[in-house]
Structure 1
Amino acid sequence: MLTIENLAFSYGATGFRLSIPELVVADRDRLAIVGPSGSGKTTLLNLVAGILSPESGRIRIGDKDVVEMSDAERRQFRATRIGFVFQDFALLDYLSARQNILYPYRITPALKMDAEVRDRVQTLADACGIGNKLDRHPDALSQGEQQRVAICRALVTKPKLILSDEATGNLDPESKTRILDLLFEQSEQAGAAVLAVTHDHELLPRFPRVLDFAQYRESVPA
């Protein structure tokens, strides 16, 4: 599903540098990413999603090399193949929760919105505990509810790769379990891989693989 080779990235004058010689993630794999703040965990997700471009190296998702794509190709690829739960949720205030979840369909011609998709929005929202709040705007939702909207948006396209940046960070223990169950259930149904950045070490036993960014301390300042 995902293969990274000789990846190098830096933020220029800040001194931040990320270097990953190799990382392979298979279909249906579940990989938790941990490490100190500022170590590059979110940067890695942004590189995989094509939001950032590396200085060198390869990032292959399936048979596609993200690095070789144009900006337009990356946007379409991200919308159709990748589900990204952003740490800051990235919701649009002027849209309802339902419209935020459906946003990938509104901006990507390759995604076709139909009755099945609309039903899927309701099913995902019900599973996340926000099924009765889809017509509310983000400012009328709690932080935890906004986070669940972002999770539904990431899953609605049935992506082949799910990137999660602290998807359970603002949730109570019961909700964390529910959301993680949903992520794993949806990834299994779609044959998708999950890369999840988390500071919650209590969740790590749920993941077959854990990548500790502490191993990159020489190249990535904490």
Structure 2
Amino acid sequence: MLIKTENVKKEYMSGKKKNLVLKGVNLEINAGEKIAIVGPSGSGKTTLLNIIGLLLPATEGEVYLAGKRASTLKEKERAKLRNKFFGYVFQEFLLVEEDTVFQNIEIPLLYSLTKKTKSEKRKMVEEVLEKVGLEVKINEKVRNLSGGERQRVAIARAIINDPEVILADEPTGSLDAENGEKIMDILESLVDKGKTLLIVTHNEAIAKRCDRIFRIKDGYVEIEE
């Protein structure tokens, strides 16, 4: 079992009112699976993804990552998992517009515990750019890229440290159908090579391309095989 959640709950305060978004989520995810997380807007899809990815704490419950209980990990261990175990593809790309493609993709390497030489980093960036078909754009400023190209840069950045799990939040949401297909093809090719994919999407066609669908409804998850 690669990822497991036990009775995960998440509560937010809205003024003086408590809003329980996740009411008790129990999931088990195996290595190499392709999982879609779907549900209405505001249902807690991104919240669940971020709790699994150690970007948000759960209000209650437990997350296990490769057998490790997340709540018992020291911050240094959690940071290591965020840097090496997970690769994040954010909904808004979160790229630095004024920097080059190379500079954006090397960011996770700067925080890696294993330090790389300048030539090693260059080689690693070139290799991931080749995987997403953007090697010719390595020195291009991000501001000059199209939406589809930016998303591919975001994926390249997510996989630069060779993570076991890719967490993708609406990776095709702002793209047209053609570019959306290209992004899914890239993500699926990574799963074919042994990666695990958790993808938040509102697109039912994309969800159906996955092995299983986790459908969030009223704070709980219904699993569709």
Distance 2:214 2:38 in 1: 6
Alignment of 1:63-212 (within 5 A): 63-110=67-114, 112=116, 118-189=122-193, 191-212=194-215
Determine the structure 1 residue equivalent to 2:13. 12
Contact 2:166 2:196 in 1 (8 A): yes
Q: Percent identity?
A: 34
Distance 1:111 1:200 in 2: 39
Structure 2 alignment gaps of length 5 or more: none
Determine the structure 2 residue equivalent to 1:214. 217
> Structure 1 stretch 96-105 or stretch 170-179: which is displaced more?
170-179
Could you state the TM-score of these two structures normalised by the residue count of structure 1?
0.87
Structure 1 alignment gaps of length 5 or more: none
Amino acid corresponding to residue 71 of structure 1 in structure 2: E
Cα distance, 1:101 vs structure 2: 1.0
Equivalent pairs, count: 217
Could you state the TM-score of these two structures normalised by the residue count of structure 2?
0.86
Amino acid corresponding to residue 153 of structure 2 in structure 1: V
Distance 2:206 2:7 in 1: 29
Contact 1:105 1:113 in 2 (8 A): no
Contact 2:23 2:220 in 1 (8 A): no
Contact 2:148 2:179 in 1 (8 A): no
Cα distance, 1:177 vs structure 2: 2.4
Contact 2:101 2:139 in 1 (8 A): yes
More strand by share: 2
Distance 1:180 1:117 in 2: 26
Q: 1:175-211: CA deviations, max 9, x gaps?
A: 322222221222332x321110011112122111011
Distance 1:102 1:64 in 2: 28
Distance 1:27 1:210 in 2: 16
Contact 1:7 1:56 in 2 (8 A): yes
More helix by share: 1
Q: From the superposition, tell whether residues 115 and 28 of structure 1 become closer, same or farther in structure 2 (CA, over 3 Å).
A: farther
Q: From the superposition, tell whether residues 137 and 6 of structure 1 become closer, same or farther in structure 2 (CA, over 3 Å).
A: same
After superposition, the CA RMSD in angstroms is: 2.3
Q: From the superposition, tell whether residues 11 and 215 of structure 1 become closer, same or farther in structure 2 (CA, over 3 Å).
A: closer
